[in-house]
Structure 1
Amino acid sequence: MKVRVQDSPKKTQLLCGFALEKSDKVLGLPKLDAKTSQVVKQSLKDIEGKLGKMIIIPIVGKKQFQRILIAGIGKKEDITKDTFRQISGKIAQKARELRLKEFSIISPPNFVIDQTSSSAQIVQGVKMALYKFEKFKAEKEQNSPDLTIIVSKSNKILQAIKTAEIVADGAIFTKSIANLPPNECTPSTLANFARIISKNKMKCKIISKPELKKKGFGGISAVGQGSKNEPKLIVLEHNKGARNEKPIVLVGKAVTFDTGGISLKPGAGMDEMKFDKCGGCTVLGIMKAISELKLPINVIGIIPSVENMPGGESYRPGDIIKLYNRKTAEILNTDAEGRLILADALAYGEKHYSPKAIIDFATLTGACIIALGTNVAGMVSNNEKLSKKIFESSKNTTEQIWELPLNQEFMDMIKSDVADMKNMGIGRAAGTITAAAFLRNAIENTPWVHLDIAGVAWTQTATKEKSYNPKGATGFGVRLVLDYLQNM
């Protein structure tokens, strides 16, 4: 899909404009002949500018527009950035449904919303809404119509559109990998993706099974030892900031398939455990976008990747393992594996990079879905300043998060009688927070934010429908963290 920018509408198969609720005009629509103007006025009455309502008007005769689409955006005071992302996504899907080769969207004037912002959201909405995971289908949807944005050209707007394309492509890259089935995506596959995006742009280091054991990555080694697909620790380095500037470290859980190990999961819904790699895929998407944006900062991406399988060499409930930071963990449940591999990666990132902040992403706990549902991610942090910045970026990108507490009472819930800690809390109480408490033990003093994305990483039964999040992986966290990094 190509994106073009024009100052005014030219010949197009579909000219699309927005209308406010109960308005008698389409925002930015050029002057039309009397007959077409009358039809447009009547169509406006039909949809009343209600949010999400659309109507298409065929244009008779040899005109520069074959059709005009009017999309309602609701009341002016209720408009958000996500309004244009969501509605533009719907427009794009309609254009594809009509099998068009191209279509044009008029960016609304500044009195509605800043045109720089709206143009960026239009691009993001269109690109992400047109994404389809069709790798394994014999008959593929070939049609992805090109987009033309009608807006007054300026360097600021052109740059915002270019950035929006890269950010959207980062989210799509994340979705494409996260949607891969487990037989097509092992820890080695993820390592290859990292190598591909790092070429001539970033440093890439892959730590494999023998070295993982030798260097004391007890969590990653234990969880991965039951599978013939060996574990990997993937490290990407984007060093474009000052040499003495401390980096941001991003850590993403990537369990390419999670059976639960010896503590086997129920069969129903186990196919969705291909999405247990979404945290790592998020880090890959962010790092790809960072390198393409050429952000003048230092960022390290660390992805511990394993396949959690039952077998003769699997780790067991009752085992005691030594993590990278030399603390010991009693294993009560092998399905609480994500915190083990993350603890290793977090400790490694802090020790080797002395970062200014650490952010981790993980489909960590089903308890997070019980607590917050499937549209809000859980956040746990040891630093109020960092968590506030992440929360602000979540509002900017409409990737919702909610902060949960982490005090000493929760830390006490994972104390073990026979080791430094155990990998489960007390019963089902505060499951999301006790998992975060385990991770907190891996970090000394670095500002840290943990995002539990178990409910939001892919579309589930209660997931709110969004045009730019088709069924499957959502790429949650890519846009959020890129917003945070760009605002630094």
Structure 2
Amino acid sequence: MVKISIESVDNVNIFEGLFVIGLDESNKDLNYLKKNTKLMDALNTHKFIHEGHLENIGKFGKNIILYMNDDDKIIKIMLLGIGDGKKLNEDKFRQLGGIISLKSKELNFHNVIISNFYSSPTNVESIIEGLVLSLYEFNKFKEDRADKSPPTFYENYSVSIITTDDSNLKNEIEIGKIVNICEAVFYARDLANSPPNVIDPNALANSAKTLEKMKNIHVDILNQNQIKDLGMNGIISVGKGSENEPKLIIVEYNNSTASKGKPIVLVGKAVTFDTGGISIKPSDRMDEMKFDKSGGCTVLGIMKALGNLDVPINVVAIIPAVENMPSGSSYRPGDIIRMYNGKTVEVLNTDAEGRLILADALAYGIAKYSPKYILDFATLTGACIIALGTNIAGIIGNDDKLVSKLVSLSRITGEKIWQLPLSEEFSDLIKSNVATIKNIGGRTGGTITAAAFLSHFVSDVPWAHFDIAGTAWTQDGTADKSYNPKGSTGFGIRTIVKFLEENQDQ
């Protein structure tokens, strides 16, 4: 298990591991090194490195490993470029943490000591996030034996972050909390990365059920008959083409007795594999449709984090889990579905299935729990990738204050989101001649018309919809960030946990 600690200079032995020194590109004076740690007098690094080399190494992310003799001992040093120190932000600190871990892993250094090139507790928290998140590995299928996964570097990794004697870092930073949140991200990544023959709706429900071992968590799994009896025909219609029956996963985290402690409801789309149904997708890159369950995986990751953190709040997660397959029993273009809240939907494209299952779950969550807020997460539209690319998620809602708060928090976590408008013109595009609404609104504004569809199922409850189609996993155009390995990113978990902590019941 990873071990991270904040240590006084006097308590650290630099001979025990890789010693990391942050190097600013804008400072050509070699005395800069001495200003960043009390240990540099002993190292005399300036005797070994030409000043011109130092300037090049100082560029963000650049690094070099030095091995130096000190009497009969070897000091192993990593000079790490931090770029212009005045322009560092939290995401750059997060990336620096990831670079340190990945370099340690490459060189098989299981012990690392990091000098104090940071300037605040928040910076250190970001470094720790990057250190941990970068070490995620999805390797359970690389071992010949099904009951054994290869060992990971993460399981035997130790990091000491140096603080000065007068610093209060040790008291200000909750390392255990940061690691717990990162491990919740790992859990979500594992689920999303798992292939569709391993994670179908039933397997996802079984995984959710394991969260019940955690404090304050209760899990209910509704089967196909129960879903049908409730009138959730959106979920039933999408799932009926598959041999794997749909499930409705409900995870309740109850940790507040406040008189006004209305729950916050989180809804996550979990299409464990999406062929497009009768409106079948092209075969190219269809394998990536295992990631169409990412919204549900994100929500389960959030609940796992809450179970570890003991936040005094009530939160309910609702995850409709289906597999969208073509068969003789599949729903068809032209079908009209009566949804949980009584509204009818004309189906024009069976590949616009995510909004159907989300709609039922949103309406159910509001009717059953009368929430303070309701948030949903979905890999919903390719149009969002066209609009915002693969590094920014879209957010749309009916409450500007709620949306603005979420956008603000995303700037801290580096999980970038951008608000898109929701106006009557887009609602007009989904009006149907034969039903209340239709499930697609044409080629233009596809992300917004999808949200306009969902808005029919949230009434006046403050609501925010996250379209994470571009950010849920690494794709063409995804920025190369050290803390986001290939595959699932677990996007949104860290932002929403911050949001929930700020909305805890007093």
Tell me the TM-score normalized by structure 2.
0.92
Please tell me the residue identity of whatever aligns with 1:147. V
**Does residue 345 of the first structure (1) align with residue 361 of the second (2)?**
yes
Match of 1:181 in 2: 195
Q: Report the residue type matching 1:96 in the other structure.
A: K
Q: 1:268 aligns with which of 266, 284, 293?
A: 284
Residue 158 of structure 2 corresponds to residue 146 of structure 1: yes
Determine helix, strand or coil for the equivalent of 1:19. strand
After superposition, give the CA deviation of every residue in 1:5-38 in whole Å (9 maximum; x if it has no partner): 3212324220112122232323235243364452
CA contact (8 A) 1:411 1:437 kept: yes
Q: Is the 8 A contact 1:22 1:48 kept in 2?
A: no
Q: Say yes or no: does 1:207 pair with 2:219.
A: no
Per-residue deviation, 1:261 = 0.5
Does 1:301 pair with 2:311?
no
**Structure 2 residue 461 is matched with structure 1 residue 446:** yes
Q: 1:133 aligns with which of 138, 141, 147?
A: 138
Give the match for residue 449 of structure 2. Answer: 434
Unaligned runs of 5+ in 2: 145-149
Assess if the C-alpha contact under 8 Å between 2:57 and 2:79 holds in 1: no
Partners of 1:165 and 1:40 in 2: CA distance:
36
* 2:435 corresponds to: 419
**After superposition, where does 1:323-472 map in structure 2 within 5 Å?**
323-425=339-441, 427-472=442-487
1:12–1:64 contact (8 Å) kept in structure 2: no
| Superposed CA offset, 1:298-337 (max 9, x none) | 1111111100001111111111111111111111010000
Deviation at 1:483, TM superposition (A): 1.6
- Residues 1:234 and 2:239 are matched in the alignment: no
Aligned partner of 2:499: which letter?
Y
RMSD in angstroms over aligned alpha carbons? 1.8
Q: Is the 8 A contact 1:15 1:65 kept in 2?
A: no
Instruction: Name the SS for the 1:210 alignment partner.
Output: helix
TM-superposed CA distance for 1:39, in Å, is 2.6
Deviations 1:157-209 (A, max 9, x none): 46432221112111111111110000010111111111112214201111110
Quick one: distance in 2 between partners of 1:439 and 1:447?
Answer: 13
Output aligned runs, 1:40-119, within 5 Å: 42=51, 45-61=54-70, 66-109=75-118, 113-114=119-120, 116-119=121-124
2:303 aligned partner: 287
Contact 2:19 2:77 (8 Å CA) reproduced? yes
Secondary structure in 1 matching 2:69? coil
Deviations 1:34-80 (A, max 9, x none): 64452367486243521111111112245776311111111133110
1:356–1:447 contact (8 Å) kept in structure 2: yes
Aligned residues: 483
TM-superposed CA distance for 1:247, in Å, is 1.3
Distance 2:138 2:400 in 1: 38
Q: Quote the offset at 1:122 in angstroms.
A: 1.5
SS of 1:32's partner is helix
Output the amino acid matched with 1:198: E
Match of 2:26 among 4, 19, 22: 22
Q: TM-score, normalised by structure 1?
A: 0.95
8 Å CA contact 1:40, 1:57 repeated in 2: no
Stretch deviating more after TM superposition (19-28 or 318-327) = 19-28
- Any idea what SS the aligned residue of 1:329 has? strand
Q: Aligned in 2, Cα 1:385/1:203: closer, same or farther, shift over 3 Å?
A: same
> In the superposition, relative to structure 1, how do residues 176 and 157 fare at CA in structure 2: closer, same or farther (>3 Å)?
farther
Cα 1:63–1:36, aligned 2, differ >3 Å: closer, same or farther? farther
Aligned-partner SS, 1:184: coil
Residues 251 and 360 in structure 1, CA contact (< 8 A), matched pair in contact too: yes
Counterpart code for 1:238: Y
1:99 to partner: Cα distance: 1.2
Segments of 5+ residues of structure 1 without an aligned counterpart are: none
Tell me, yes or no, if structure 1 residue 4 matches structure 2 residue 11: no
CA deviation digits over 1:448-474, x for unaligned, max 9?
Answer: 000100001000011010000011001
In structure 2, the CA distance between the partners of 1:103 and 1:438, relative to structure 1 (3 Å rule), is same
Distance 2:420 2:444 in 1: 14
Contact map agreement 1:380 1:449 (CA 8 A) in 2: yes
